[in-house]
Amino acid sequence: MASVVFQDVVKKFGTFTAVSDLNLEVRDKEFLVLLGPSGCGKTTTMRMVAGLEEVTTGEIFIGSDPVNDVLPKYRDVAMVFQSYALYPHLSVAENIGYPLKIRKVPQDKRRRSVMEVARRVELDGLLDRLPKQLSGGQRQRVALARAIIRTPKVFLMDEPLSNLDAKLRVQMRAELKHLQHELQVTTIYVTHDQIEAMTLAHRVAVMNKGVIEQLGTPKEIYNNPRTLFVAGFIGSPPMNLIDGEVKDGVFTSLGGIRVDGLGSANVASAVLGARPEDIHVLPAGNAKANIVAPIYSVELTGESTLVTLRAGAALLTIRADKNFVGDFDQMVEVGFAPERVFLFDRQSQDRVDF
């Protein structure tokens, strides 16, 4: 049980800066998700905690101990790799028991632990198989079992669900969350999947180009994005981001979208952000409509209908009622809730409060 602290951590590969000036505290027992697109430095950050990458400058602490110069084996962390990294020449039982074998735990005690952990992840009965004889989901469980067989200070998980099919991923996600709650071990979880981040995390650190753009609870990140990147990255379908200008609290875009009631903001090159569920289809002839635009496409997802409109050069996605009926090119009037839209400055990429 321990916190993990990054203090001014920089990681460079040659001249390329993978992680720049990272300051972050992962609290004891916290489930922290590092979220970002590929190449944003999230995996490098995790690998530095494991000791698989050296820190260029700065210091990492696990608990109160600086670990920069500590070998992986002494850091007392457990890691689940994206590829699972199961030892192909060892059976399931030997894979799971490997961390204990290395620590010279007596064989009978080791066997009991393996049995116990295997039962927990529902692998009992497969213990004599080799990894290649297992399905993807089973391999994933072996990797998990190998990580939880000892109680490490920190769990590190590098996109552990990305190789599973969609249905299994949802199931394993719930199991992972439950397991972390049960074991109460500090967890750092790397993913590029914002749904995983939203559902699993106590706090999410959204990373981009080697820096943390925003750190907060999933709710904060979703409801209160601080930068244009975070706004665009979180949410599915993503937030509508419309370029235009704001004069005295009135936003206008080239595509004909007009939103007023934005305080007294003035931004020359502004981006208006509105989540699909915060835009509403209005009855025809409504004077409050922010835009009247033709339908580009209608997709029924089951619990709602995604309506995409063509607003000038841009496309506007709206989450409408599941009973919405509309045809291609039919004109639709929509309204934005001014208190639910966000304004960003295209130049600085930052939120503009109003």
Partner 1 sequence: MAHRRKSIGIQRIAAYATIAVALVVTLFPVYWIAANSFKYDIDIFSIPPQWVPANPTSKHYHAAFVERPFLIYALNSLIIAVSTTLVSVVFGSLAGYALARFQYPGRWRYQISFWILSTRMMPPIVTIIPLYIAFNHLGMLNTKPAVIIAYTAFNLPFATWMMKSYFQDLPVELEEAAMVDGDTRWGAFLHVALPLARPGLAATAIFCLIISWNEFLLALILTLTERSQTLPIGIAGRVTQYNTYWGEISAAGFTACIPIMLFAFVVQKHLVRGISFGAVKG
Residues that bind partner 1 (CB under 8 A): 50-52, 71-73, 75, 77-79, 81, 83, 85, 87-89, 98-99, 102-103, 146, 156
Residue placing its CB nearer to partner 1 in the complex, 71 or 325: 71
Structure tokens at 77: 């962390």
Q: Which residues pair with 310 in a beta bridge?
A: 315
Strands lying side by side in the sheet with 65-66? 16-26, 4-13, 57-62, 65-66
Residue placing its CB nearer to partner 1 in the complex, 113 or 290: 113
Residue placing its CB nearer to partner 1 in the complex, 149 or 234: 149
Tell me the closest approach of the beta carbon of residue 56 to partner 1, in angstroms.
Answer: 13
Residue placing its CB nearer to partner 1 in the complex, 157 or 231: 157
For CA atoms 323, 329, 332, 336, the dihedral sign is positive
Tell me the closest approach of the beta carbon of residue 55 to partner 1, in angstroms.
Answer: 14
Q: How far apart are CA 64 and CA 267, in angstroms?
A: 46
Q: Which residues pair with 12 in a beta bridge?
A: 17
Q: Tell me the DSSP string of 266-315.
A: -EEEEEEEE-GGGEEEE-TT-TT-SEEEEEEEEEE-SSSEEEEEEETTEE
Tell me the closest approach of the beta carbon of residue 39 to partner 1, in angstroms.
Answer: 18
325 neighbors 257 (Cβ within 8 angstroms): no
Q: What are phi and psi of 350, to 5 degrees?
A: -95, 160
Closest CA to 110 of 124, 120, 96, 121: 96
Structure tokens at 225: 């994005």
Tell me the closest approach of the beta carbon of residue 71 to partner 1, in angstroms.
Answer: 7
Residue placing its CB nearer to partner 1 in the complex, 37 or 87: 87
Tell me the closest approach of the beta carbon of residue 174 to partner 1, in angstroms.
Answer: 25
Tell me the closest approach of the beta carbon of residue 74 to partner 1, in angstroms.
Answer: 9
Neighbours of 335 (CB within 10 A): 16
Tell me the closest approach of the beta carbon of residue 270 to partner 1, in angstroms.
Answer: 45
Tokens 């931004």 label which residue? Answer: 267
Q: Which residues pair with 34 in a beta bridge?
A: 190, 205
Q: How far apart are CA 81 and CA 37, in angstroms?
A: 18
Residue placing its CB nearer to partner 1 in the complex, 147 or 267: 147
Q: How far apart are CA 24 and CA 17, in angstroms?
A: 18
Tell me the closest approach of the beta carbon of residue 9 to partner 1, in angstroms.
Answer: 19
Residue placing its CB nearer to partner 1 in the complex, 51 or 58: 51
Residue placing its CB nearer to partner 1 in the complex, 34 or 100: 100
Residue 26: its H or E element: strand 16-26
Q: How far apart are CA 170 and CA 5, in angstroms?
A: 30
What residue type is assigned to position 209 of the chain?
Answer: K
